[in-house]
Amino acid sequence: MQRTLLITGGAGFIGSHVVRLFVNKYPDYRIVNLDALTYAGNLENLADVKDKPNYTFEKGDITDEAFVDQLFTSYQFDGVIHLAAESHVDRSIMDPLAFIRTNVLGTAVLLNACRKYWQDSMEGKLFYHVSTDEVYGTLGAEGFFTEETPYDPRSPYSASKASSDHLVMAYHHTYHLPVIISNCSNNYGSHHFPEKLIPLAIRNIRQNKPVPVYGKGENVRDWLWVEDHARAIDTIFHKGRTGETYNIGGFNEWKNIDLINLLCMIMDKKLGRAPGTSAQLITFVKDRAGHDLRYAIDATKLNKELGWQPSLQFEEGLEKTVDWYLANEEWLQHVTSGAYQQYYEEQYQKR
């Protein structure tokens, strides 16, 4: 094997797309997926690559220093792509400490392991940290987040991600650890846990249940197809400059209510319902505490320096996403029924 890479959080939404891309595109890389399989981790996301010779799964917690050390000793990693995190803002409002533990402490444990195991030679090594545009705070009606925008996180989730970004840069400046950070906008696509806006709406529309929309649906997000994010990570991992931050975005801003209306139109078409039927399910609910008004990414640096750009128009990506959810009822059912959790417990008792 040419390189051995550790990908953390590979059983989650974005992580599973990154693992799939790397395992298929780089048969001479050994890809080790470390994931604790929290409620958000699902090995069914990787059913199509699980038997590939260059893929290994390790169940474990990134905050477990002894376990992470043992993994670094066994595999002698050349690089880390770090995605494992608690990722849902609403959950961070209910239980901030879980976010501090995984997102801050977990990142520090990984950085420390890299520092220790790479101290003799940092040549060819890279710690790639996958982060979010939410670290920049919120925008008014105008402007974009650039790599120079000062951090201003406003939820426990974004504050924990901002803290981890600062730790990554601190290890770079203090210990010369080769690092790169990317900050990405909201992702959508297949294998997305149905607590997030788009998969939740698809599921509820399908089941004729109310589709909750916070406040008046005025919040604006910049949406990127998850496979384009995975491609951007691949590009930055191989061609990015160490010590740099790259913003990743879709140049694709949507008000939540406009997005949900578009989704309702697509669902009416796919389900053979009369136009306007699904939109009747839209239900405005009490706004999220501290809800950021607008996020919008300026991804010019990534485009100019490394030639990356999104491959799909939003309407096309959304249709693909709806098609995937309608064709994968079983996946959705397992995720929501908790049946897959039971599967893991049975599976891992045997090992």
Ligand X SMILES: NC(=O)c1ccc[n+]([C@@H]2O[C@H](COP(=O)([O-])OP(=O)(O)OC[C@H]3O[C@@H](n4cnc5c(N)ncnc54)[C@H](O)[C@@H]3O)[C@@H](O)[C@H]2O)c1
**Tokens read off for 230:** 């995975």
Q: Which of residues 33 and 54 has its CB atom nearest to ligand X in the complex?
A: 33
- Is residue 13 near ligand X by the rule CB under 6 A? yes
Around Cβ 310, how many Cβ atoms within 10 Å?
Answer: 22
Spell out, one character per residue from 128 to 167, where the chain touches ligand X: x when CB under 6 A holds, - when not.
Answer: --x-x----------------------------x------
Restricting to residues 175-204, which ones interact with ligand X according to CB under 6 A?
184, 186-187, 193
Q: Which is nearer to ligand X, 100 or 267 (CB)?
A: 100
Minimum gap (Å) between residue 268 Cβ and ligand X: 26
Look up 65 and say whether it is catalytic.
no
Q: If phi over 0 gives left and psi between -120 and 50 gives alpha, with beta otherwise, what is residue 153?
A: beta
CB count in 10 Å sphere of residue 262? 15
157 catalytic? Reply is yes
171 binds ligand X (CB under 6 A): no
Q: Which of 61, 134, 147, 292 is catalytic?
A: 134
DSSP string, 49-85: TTT-TTEEEEE--TT-HHHHHHHHHHH--SEEEE---
> At 31, phi and psi to the nearest 5?
-105, 120
Number of residues that bind ligand X (CB under 6 A): 30
Contact between 12 and ligand X by CB under 6 A: the answer reads yes
Q: Which residue is nearest to ligand X (CB)?
A: 12
Count of alpha carbons within 13 angstroms of residue 132, beta-carbon side: 30
- 26 vs 35: CA distance, rounded Å: 21
Is residue 41 near ligand X by the rule CB under 6 A? yes
The strand pairing partners of 305, in sequence order, are none
* 29 near ligand X, rule: CB under 6 A: no
SS3 91: helix
What is the contact mask toward ligand X in residues 95 to 134, using x (rule: CB under 6 A)? -------x---x-----------------------x-x--
Indicate whether 63 belongs to the interface with ligand X (CB under 6 A): yes
191 vs 216: CA distance, rounded Å: 28
Residues forming contacts to ligand X in the complex (CB under 6 A) are: 8-9, 11-15, 35-38, 40-41, 61-63, 83-87, 102, 106, 130, 132, 161, 184, 186-187, 193
Catalytic machinery residues: 133-134, 157
